[in-house]
A and B are shown apart, each in its own frame.
Chain A
Amino acid sequence: MKDYRPVVYAAFCVLLLLAPFFLNAYWVDVLNNVGLYAILGLSLNIILGHAGLFHMGHAAFYAMGAYTTAIINTTYQIPVLWLMPISGLVAGVLALVIARPIIHLRGDYLLIVTIGLVEITRIALVNNIFGITGGSNGIFGISRPEIFGFRIRRPEHFFFLIWGFAAVTVFLFHRLENSRFGRALNYLREDETAAEGSGINTAHYKLIAFVVGAVWAGMAGNIFAAKMTIIAPESFNFWESVILFMIVLLGGRGSIPGVILGAFLIAGLPELFRQFASARMLIFGAIMIAMMIFRTEGILPPRPRRYPAPASGGGEGAS
């Protein structure tokens, strides 16, 4: 059978690139949200999809990144985009501290603890922790990002920032998947005992999966803060984590195209059915249930990795 995925992907990219020139501001903004969810979904995919860790608190890392940007920008007027690596770093370091004691938990236990994590984060933000998060009103007056003196403020400007970052993410995460690191995450997902018994430091890889996922969520938080100029705890609630979880599960755990499709379906599709606002969650739930029964691997499950054929002449007598 002919593989026409490259054609489909190319067509998708062209359509997406042209979209802001034809759509109105409202729909461009919808695409921007989809893009942010795609980036977040891809970052959660490292943890949930590849390492198989049931992490339902990803919004917490997103919040940490967004608040880092908001606080530093509004207090010290440091340009927002400069704060992107710092936001990633802060989320990553916090992930390291938070994940260390909980990564040995299995499946459902980890799920419960990570739900706790996102709630604790939200409540801490509401209670104006350290007096710097602005309580339930949040933080406003975050400045717009600038690239080489160009001020990003309109939705179509943000479109290129967000989807540009998504493209970089896809590029880097594709490499990550197809590497010793990516395989190690899959080994521990498939059979932790066998992975450890093959010489893989499973605790270390779980931790690093969390850190990589959190760094990316933190950077996505930076873009979110810049886009909104106002952030509040309610943007990072438990439901947000559930949506990200669903994006990965629906699209296909461990599959980059799957997660992007999942972001479109879960963050984009409901916008098309606005008029059925009350019924859309019902339809949604029904689809999710059907998926879990009939297509447990997601809509676009990952394809097997491909390796170069062995050099001829190799063979007998390994040493």
Chain B
Amino acid sequence: MSLLQLQNLTKRFGGLVAVDDVSFEVPQGAIVGLIGPNGAGKTTVFNLITGNYRPDQGDILFEGRSIRKLPTHKIVALGIARTFQTIRLFPKMSVLENVLAGCHCRTHAGAVAAMLRLPFQKREEAAALAEAHAELAFTGIEHYADQVAENLSYGNQRLLEVARALASRPRFIILDEPAGGMNDFETAALIRIIRRIRERGITVLLIEHDMNLVMEACEHLVVLENGANIAEGTPAQIQADERVIEAYLGVEED
């Protein structure tokens, strides 16, 4: 069974059909790329998966269970984590605290436990800190732990979003243009990180404009154009697909 199944998803904004009857599946353990020209509806698909938007039609199944009506934080708790295309960190808080936000849904201490400093609260806090540091190390930004998030370079802010997402212990991670604003060197490091995420047993779905990254990192691609799913297959198949070349890849060769 696929980890994620999108079934005939449709999302309209007024008269605009941003996502038009899109269906595809993400197999367990895969790295899948979602590509397409600007405005094709890729980010909207992500926002539907994470519950930021509600679909007008269709359903979303995660591990066979419909998540269409769940609030975002519950979807995260089920094991879906995301990053944002337009970086959305907690800019005035430290890098470490940003990652601790991801640990939140795997911990429990509330206001009373905090005021009383109960033993379980202390243990939990120490464990969350260790985990946050480990995720910073995993993404290679542990040296910045005490810095304010907004002071990081663009590329490192993207990595911080990945670290925060991983801290929620997802089984499925969706990355919205993770290489946006990165230089070649940073992009190469990112590809390695994405592969290591998969080695941890986490399934990856990513949106990306950088064709090199997509072709190198993904084993399966889904192509959107004007909200519709126009092609699907391996990178080699997609590169050879007439319609895709016309709609998307062709543009680059002009």
Q: Which residues of A contact B (CB under 8 A)?
A: 172, 175-176, 178-184, 186-187, 190-191, 193-202, 208, 212, 304-305, 307-308, 310-311, 314-319
Chain B residues whose C-beta falls within 8 Å of the C-beta of A172 in the assembled complex: 115
Give the nearest-CB partner of B100 in chain A: A183
Chain A residues whose C-beta falls within 8 Å of the C-beta of B90 in the assembled complex: 186-187, 190-191, 194-195
- Can you offer 20 A-B residue contacts whose CB atoms are under 8 A? A175-B115, A176-B115, A179-B114, A179-B121, A180-B100, A181-B110, A183-B101, A183-B104, A187-B104, A194-B89, A194-B101, A197-B72, A197-B84, A197-B88, A199-B105, A305-B97, A307-B146, A314-B137, A318-B135, A319-B200
A239 to B220, CA, bound (A): 63
Contact status of A212 and B111, CB under 8 A, knowing A190-B93, A194-B88, A307-B129: yes
Contact status of A186 and B111, CB under 8 A, knowing A175-B117, A179-B125, A197-B82: no
- Expressed in whole angstroms, the minimum distance between the Cβ of B136 and any Cβ of chain A is 9
Chain A residues whose C-beta falls within 8 Å of the C-beta of B148 in the assembled complex: 304
- Expressed in whole angstroms, the minimum distance between the Cβ of A108 and any Cβ of chain B is 21
Asked if B168 and A198 sit within 8 Å, CB to CB, the answer is: yes
Chain B residues whose C-beta falls within 8 Å of the C-beta of A184 in the assembled complex: 104
Asked if A199 and B133 sit within 8 Å, CB to CB, the answer is: no
Helix, strand, loop or mixed for chain B's interface? helix
Asked if A304 and B101 sit within 8 Å, CB to CB, the answer is: no
Tell me if B50 counts as interface (CB < 8 A to partner A): yes
Contact status of A198 and B101, CB under 8 A, knowing A187-B90, A308-B129: yes
Asked if B101 and A195 sit within 8 Å, CB to CB, the answer is: yes
Chain A residues whose C-beta falls within 8 Å of the C-beta of B168 in the assembled complex: 198-199
- Expressed in whole angstroms, the minimum distance between the Cβ of B205 and any Cβ of chain A is 15
Q: Which residues of B contact A (CB under 8 A)?
A: 50, 52, 71-73, 76-77, 81-82, 84, 88-94, 96-97, 100-102, 104-105, 107, 109-111, 113-115, 117, 121, 124-125, 128-131, 133-135, 137-138, 142, 145-146, 148, 164-166, 168, 200
Asked if B93 and A200 sit within 8 Å, CB to CB, the answer is: no
Partner of A315, one of B82, B124, B142: B142
Partner of A305, one of B94, B107, B165: B94
Partner of B88, one of A176, A191, A202, A317: A191
Chain B residues whose C-beta falls within 8 Å of the C-beta of A196 in the assembled complex: 71-73
A176 to B121, CA, bound (A): 12
Give the nearest-CB partner of B116 in chain A: A175
- Expressed in whole angstroms, the minimum distance between the Cβ of A248 and any Cβ of chain B is 17
Asked if A200 and B105 sit within 8 Å, CB to CB, the answer is: yes
Known A-B contacts: A187-B93, A198-B102, A314-B130. Give 13 more (CB < 8 A): A175-B114, A175-B115, A178-B114, A179-B109, A180-B109, A190-B93, A194-B90, A199-B104, A307-B96, A310-B130, A310-B142, A315-B134, A318-B134
- Expressed in whole angstroms, the minimum distance between the Cβ of A45 and any Cβ of chain B is 14
Asked if B134 and A314 sit within 8 Å, CB to CB, the answer is: yes
- Expressed in whole angstroms, the minimum distance between the Cβ of B225 and any Cβ of chain A is 27
Q: Which of A172, A182, A197, A307 has the most CB of B within 10 A?
A: A197
Give the nearest-CB partner of A318 in chain B: B134
List 8 A-B pairs, minimum CB-CB distance, nearest first. Answer: A199-B105, A179-B114, A199-B76, A318-B134, A194-B88, A310-B133, A190-B90, A198-B101
Q: Which of A190, A212, A319 has the most CB of B within 10 A?
A: A190
Q: Which of A175, A199, A315 has the most CB of B within 10 A?
A: A199
Give the nearest-CB partner of A196 in chain B: B72
Give the nearest-CB partner of B117 in chain A: A175
- Expressed in whole angstroms, the minimum distance between the Cβ of A289 and any Cβ of chain B is 24
Chain A residues whose C-beta falls within 8 Å of the C-beta of B107 in the assembled complex: 180
Asked if A199 and B138 sit within 8 Å, CB to CB, the answer is: no
A310 to B76, CA, bound (A): 26
Chain B residues whose C-beta falls within 8 Å of the C-beta of A195 in the assembled complex: 90, 101
Give the nearest-CB partner of B147 in chain A: A304
Asked if A199 and B77 sit within 8 Å, CB to CB, the answer is: yes
A74 to B109, CA, bound (A): 39
Chain A residues whose C-beta falls within 8 Å of the C-beta of B96 in the assembled complex: 307
Q: Which of A186, A202, A318 has the most CB of B within 10 A?
A: A318
Chain B residues whose C-beta falls within 8 Å of the C-beta of A314 in the assembled complex: 130, 133-134, 137
Chain B residues whose C-beta falls within 8 Å of the C-beta of A176 in the assembled complex: 111, 114-115
- Expressed in whole angstroms, the minimum distance between the Cβ of A209 and any Cβ of chain B is 9
A141 to B217, CA, bound (A): 77
Chain B residues whose C-beta falls within 8 Å of the C-beta of A187 in the assembled complex: 90, 93, 101, 104
A85 to B128, CA, bound (A): 33
Asked if B137 and A316 sit within 8 Å, CB to CB, the answer is: yes
- Expressed in whole angstroms, the minimum distance between the Cβ of B125 and any Cβ of chain A is 7
A251 to B239, CA, bound (A): 61
